[in-house]
A and B are shown apart, each in its own frame.
Chain A
Amino acid sequence: MAQAKKSPGTAAETPPSILTVNNIEVIYDHVILVLKGVSLEVPQGGVVALLGANGAGKSTTLKAISNLLYAERGEVTKGNIAFKGDRVDARSTNDLVKRGCIQVMEGRHCFEHLTVEENLLTGAYTRGNARKEIKDDLELVYTYFPRLKERRSSLAGYISGGEQQMTAIGRALMSRPVMMLLDEPSMGLAPQLVEEIFEIVKLLNEEQGVSVLLAEQNTNMALKYAQYGYILENGRVVMDGPAAELRENPDVKEFYLGISEEGRRSFRNVRSYRRRKRWLN
């Protein structure tokens, strides 16, 4: 772990890591270099935040882990990724889901023409036809998200944004994950809902033992729930540390917690890109 600068004190107490990302470089379309050596670690049972402005490379990092990158013509060209001790950087998403690592994509991505319950059931796809267990897990998801039970037969396209986020998380839960990669669950939601969803994630972490890697722009919220955080800028980790320390760090305060207005502006120079219309995009 060349890049993970941890104080010796915390390192000694850290449980074994479930996910290790070691110095990865990601290139899209063979030419666009987006991640320039990112390393991070998620301890077993931990909640780790991946912070950074829009375009910093958070989603790319998560997609590199889940290998959704492949379908976007992205590629991990350097470094490696280990999940539960096994190298997974050349594994398909299908394989990773079977191993227990699943991503909840940015923007929720529910199946709009399927009902909420059908959405949840697609999450159990990799588990084959184990009907009894799947049915039990469906009930489990409904105990965490009682609202979804009420809306179980509505088309996912017609429910509210908060309910869609719950559906997306519930769907992932149906795969019986040990690790969830959550990509900006707070996006576009009212603060109260964000809190409700983060509380549920916390419960899932505590009760179901799901480890969480949480990509967020909502730094304030994320650092409340995570134990550790990494800050990405332009495809590099520029800072990392325990959440409590990051919250007190003057730079983080200035740039990410919005305490100084000037600083915020300099991080708003969002790079935009245009993609050509492609098949499956």
Chain B
Amino acid sequence: MLFFMETVISGLLAGVMYSLVALGFVLIFKASGVFNFAQGVMALFAALTLVGLLSGTTPFTHIDNPAFAMPAWVAIPLTIVVMIVFAILVERFILRHLVNQEQIILFMSMVGLAYVLEGAGDILWGSDVKVIDLGLPQGAWDWLLDGYGLYIEKIELVAAGTAVVLVAFLAVFFQKTRIGRALRAVADDHQAALSVGISLRSIWIIVWSVAGVVALVTGVVWGAKSGIQFSLSLIALKALPVLILGGFESIPGAIVGGLIIGVGEKLAEVYGGEIIVAIFGRWYEIDPGIFSATENWFAYVLALVFLLFRPQGLFGEKIIERV
């Protein structure tokens, strides 16, 4: 039982990361109808920038100069500024020109953006694996281990806590502020939003900036666990099944979907082999280790099953129909 709990908890904690990436997608999709293929690369880029600033790396040369190293309280806001500038550039050079274009053109431009940003990260900060040191705690949580025999990494709890704070902050922002209301209005009916004088361009910049901040958090937390490297951008691939599960337009869906995928993946990894052996073992010789590398495909299988039964996703936005 304890082992089961441990599996579920570590699944939940991994799921938090998936939720964060999916959240970035949903925000942009809701506000601009764009499938932001670059969300994963944005996480990588933001994390690279932060590490670069923290260690005083000179852009382009990739040489660390400790004299330019910034403390975290300078580097983090500065990275956020960089992500905002990025949002402005995206609006100025991509979104603005694509108003009223077909969906496929938008999609291609986002694929292009992902590659450009990836290249930019490479050229600016170099492509070697980087370690991020924000002084986040390492190792297991002692009192959980001693008191309950549960092995939970501190950093994973910190990650989950950060994600919860971020989501709570976003929820308040969306529900209570003037800009948040405008964002929801744009998501609902962009023409009507235009008609009351909401400027779509500024809304896009805001929403891409918010997605940039979400990307930064994702990149840092993920990077703190497994180093900042190219593979970070591939977590975007995890977001797709999460979105299918949660619905492309639903923020709660992104969160819950991420958690379900996280837990499902871990459970399948741990128990999947045994279950398969228990069912088919009578007829075939099966290696119980068959499920040990579920990470890459389990989420997609789950999403496919889901597509069959609930194509609008768990919380897929109800289309209001009035008589």
Contacts and interface: CB of A to CB of B under 8 A. Distances in A.
Interface of A: 66, 68, 71-73, 92-94, 96-98, 102-105, 109-114, 118, 121-123, 125-126, 128-129, 155, 157-158, 161, 171-172, 175, 276-281
Nearest to B320: A157
Interface of B: 33-34, 98-103, 105-106, 178, 181-182, 184-185, 187-200, 317, 320, 322
14 contacts: A68-B194, A71-B99, A71-B191, A94-B197, A94-B199, A109-B195, A122-B193, A125-B196, A125-B198, A157-B322, A278-B102, A279-B98, A279-B102, A280-B190
Contacts of B105: 279
Contacts of A122: 181-182, 185, 193, 196, 198
Majority secondary structure, B binding face: helix
Contact of A171 (B34, B98, B190, B196): B196
A175 B181 CA distance: 15
Given A71-B100, A155-B320, A278-B101, A102 B181 contact: no
Given A68-B191, A111-B185, A114-B188, A279 B197 contact: no
A52 to B, nearest CB: 21
Given A113-B320, A157-B320, A279 B188 contact: no
A279 B101 contact: yes
A114 B185 contact: yes
B196 A102 contact: yes
Contacts of A281: 100
A66 B194 CA distance: 10
Closest 6 CB pairs of A and B: A97-B197, A157-B320, A109-B192, A126-B197, A111-B188, A94-B199
B286 to A, nearest CB: 48
A125 B188 contact: no
Given A71-B194, A98-B197, A279 B106 contact: yes
A277 B192 CA distance: 18
Nearest to B98: A279
Contacts of A126: 196-197
A279 B103 CA distance: 6
Q: Quick one: which of B34, B189, B193, B197 has the most chain A CB within 10 A?
A: B197
Contacts of A110: 189, 192
Given A111-B184, A114-B188, A280-B190, A68 B195 contact: yes
B137 to A, nearest CB: 40
Nearest to A105: B195
Contacts of A104: 195
